[in-house]
């Protein structure tokens, strides 16, 4: 019913040549991707335009890792949603835990970014996730609930553009994953929160899992009822490894 998404977050990796090669190698494998899976990659800003142009007609869609919380003006180093849109990018990740915790983005700033993207009619891959201390202290559901506020007062027609990614911070880049049961428990909680506001529409929302997804754990996690694919960091930097994860979502 919900079409799965597997998205690769390249983070701050890859030289120009490496990025081109990775994109081309992945596109070359697209015949092997299940037809019921959408494939996205999020390269660094500087490669977006070129890869998006190369990828016209490819099943591997190019998205951004971030965007500015302001519309335009004196914000040195920032890239706005409208700039992304002007080069044909239709989707961006917002609220990734590295943005929240390394760069100190507040819930308010994340909300502003969501609104900037929606104003451009772009899709938002909206990330939430608790830290290890929060899970150990038992506040993980409250933390996720607070983070979800950024997308809980949208018009239903705008909410359609939201894809949620649950990424427990303790599982990102650590080699440790949430168990399939822990993932399902949180995904079902997230869907119930969305349901309180958006009703049946929330059954259409894709909720991705992220945090050390690898070929050997992907199918078990993706097999859970409320898990609609994954947001993949490290394992998306190798085309054949990432392709295995894509196949696991079919």
Q: Which one of the spans 43-51, 111-119, 204-212, 217-225 is the region binding ligand PGA (CB under 6 A)?
A: 204-212
Residue 213 within binding range of ligand PGA, rule CB under 6 A: yes
Cβ–Cβ < 8 Å for 235, 245: yes
Any catalytic annotation for residue 140? Answer: no
Q: Select which of 38, 96, 109, 140 is catalytic.
A: 96
Q: Which of 98, 109, 112, 167 is catalytic?
A: 167
- Rounded to the nearest whole angstrom, what is the least distance from the CB of residue 86 to ligand PGA in the complex? 26
Give the nearest distance from C-beta 218 to ligand PGA in angstroms.
11
Q: What are the φ/ψ torsions at residue 63 (nearest 5 degrees)? A: -130, 170
Kindly state whether residue 211 participates in binding ligand PGA, applying the rule CB under 6 A: yes
Residue 52 or 212: which CB sits closer to ligand PGA?
212
Told to check if 9 binds ligand PGA by CB under 6 A, we report yes
Which residue's beta carbon is nearest to the bound ligand PGA? 233
Report how far apart, in Å, the C-alpha atoms of 68 and of each of 53, 79, 127, 132, 149 are: 23, 5, 16, 28, 19
As measured in angstroms, the least distance from the Cβ of 172 to ligand PGA is: 4
Residue 124 region by backbone torsions, left for phi larger than 0, else alpha for psi between -120 and 50, else beta: beta
Residue 14 makes contact with ligand PGA by CB under 6 A: no
Among 105, 167, 226, 244, binds ligand PGA (CB under 6 A): 167
What's the min distance (Å) between Cβ of 101 and ligand PGA? Answer: 11
Q: By three-state DSSP, how is residue 212 classified?
A: coil
> 237 is written with which tokens?
């930097």
How many helices and strands, by DSSP H and E, does the chain display?
11, 8
State the nearest-atom distance from the C-beta of 167 to ligand PGA, in Å.
Answer: 6
Interface with ligand PGA (CB under 6 A), residue from 234, 242, 243, 246: 234
Interface region with ligand PGA, contact rule CB under 6 A, candidates 16-24, 59-67, 107-115, 229-237: 229-237
Task: State how far the Cα of 242 lies from the Cα of 238, in Å rounded to an integer.
Answer: 6
Q: How far is CA 106 from CA 80, 99, 188, 243, in A?
A: 18, 9, 25, 34
- The string of DSSP letters for 83-115 reads HHHHTT--EEEES-HIIIIIS---HHHHHHHHH
195 vs 215 by CB, closer to ligand PGA: 215
* Segment interacting with ligand PGA, rule: CB under 6 A, options 61-69, 111-119, 134-142, 209-217: 209-217
Whether residue 96 lies in the annotated active site: yes
- 22 in Cβ contact with 140 (< 8 Å): no
Active site residues: 96, 167
């Amino acid at each position: 019913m919900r079409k799965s998404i597997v998205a690769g977050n390249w983070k701050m990796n890859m030289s120009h040549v490496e990025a081109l090669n990775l994109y081309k190698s992945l596109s070359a494998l697209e015949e092997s991707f299940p037809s019921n899976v959408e494939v996205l990659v999020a390269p660094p800003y500087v490669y977006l335009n070129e890869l998006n142009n190369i990828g016209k007609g490819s099943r591997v869609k190019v998205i951004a890792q971030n965007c500015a919380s302001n519309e335009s003006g004196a914000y040195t180093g920032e890239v706005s949603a409208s700039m992304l849109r002007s080069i044909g990018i239709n989707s961006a990740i917002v609220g990734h835990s590295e943005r929240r915790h390394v760069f100190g983005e507040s819930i308010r700033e994340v909300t502003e970014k969501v609104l900037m993207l929606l104003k451009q009619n772009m899709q938002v891959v909206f990330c939430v996730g608790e830290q290890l201390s929060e899970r150990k202290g038992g506040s993980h559901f409250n933390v996720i609930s607070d983070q979800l506020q950024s997308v809980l007062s949208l018009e239903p027609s705008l909410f359609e553009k939201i894809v949620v990614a649950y990424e427990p911070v303790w599982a990102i880049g650590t080699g440790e994953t949430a168990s399939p049961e822990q993932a399902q428990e949180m995904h079902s909680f997230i869907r119930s929160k969305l349901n309180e506001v958006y009703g049946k529409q929330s059954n259409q929302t894709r909720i991705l899992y992220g945090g050390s997804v690898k070929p050997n754990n992907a199918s078990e996690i993706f097999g859970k009822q409320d898990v609609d694919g994954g947001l993949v960091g490290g394992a998306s930097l190798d085309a054949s490894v990432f392709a295995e994860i894509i196949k696991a979502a079919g």
